Structure 1
Amino acid sequence: MQFYRPRKPIPAIPIVSLIDILVILLIFFIVTMQPKQKRTILDISMPVVGDLPTKQVIDSGRVVLALSKEGEITLDSTRISPKLLVSYLETVKSQGRELELEMDKQVKLEQMIMISEALTEAGFEANLPTRVRDTKQTTDS
């Protein structure tokens, strides 16, 4: 004898309501999303010697600390290693001589910071007379 076995109902997933929920979530995420904004970069242009109407540079008797765009450091036309810069600057300070900074227009920021730290460590003030050379003007002439 066979007994009647009721069939188990197959569980049904209501797809329509899931689609509605997904659309609502999608609209919510789109409305609350903040798009990624590009960071602005400051374009800082240093003034160059050629910008001022001067006919010749007056020799002020100061020691010239020059920095080229390649990273060469010279002190009165003597090439100096960055490791020895502080000791040279301390010698100039102990002699009581004044210092003038001259650099190319395309000097990297890291090099300028390194020079500034060396000057501070040697005891010079931050407001040194500074000249900026435009390398394009010096190579054309």
Structure 2
Amino acid sequence: MAIVGPDYKFICVDIGGFGKNSDGGIFETSNMGKRFEQNLMSVPAPRFLPGQNEICSYVLIGDEAFALKPYLMRPFPYKQTLTDVRKEKYNLRLCRARRVVENAFGILSQKWRIFYRPLETKVDTTILIVRTACILHNFYEVKVAMTNIFNS
């Protein structure tokens, strides 16, 4: 389970859930999910979007497997989008935002192709490998961003 920023860097990861469980179930039982539920995460205060006069809160974005929470946005059920164009557009934009997380994991697995196959290690070792890869991924993304800034 991960929270990813718009720059494809991992902000928070919770590793150890089993793939056979739903993402929503894994989130609710994870340390991250419990901390969100207890309002213990250090989420920045709501603020104005550029050029807007309405305050906007920070939220997580999930898919249909997640329960609707005050801190989490999820898509409308498919049947509701058939009769409401605004809900369909909302779902499309939410899906676009969710792609950032999917892409971050794609970039991570492209760099370390060990993730293209099942890891045949102990659970504790697997958690350490994934956590280390996320940290290295963030360092690499910072390096790429700095290179782009200095080369432009």
Q: Which has the higher helix share?
A: 2
Structure with bigger gyration radius: 1
**What is the TM-score normalised by the length of structure 1?**
0.25
**What is the TM-score normalised by the length of structure 2?**
0.24
Q: Which has the higher strand share?
A: 1
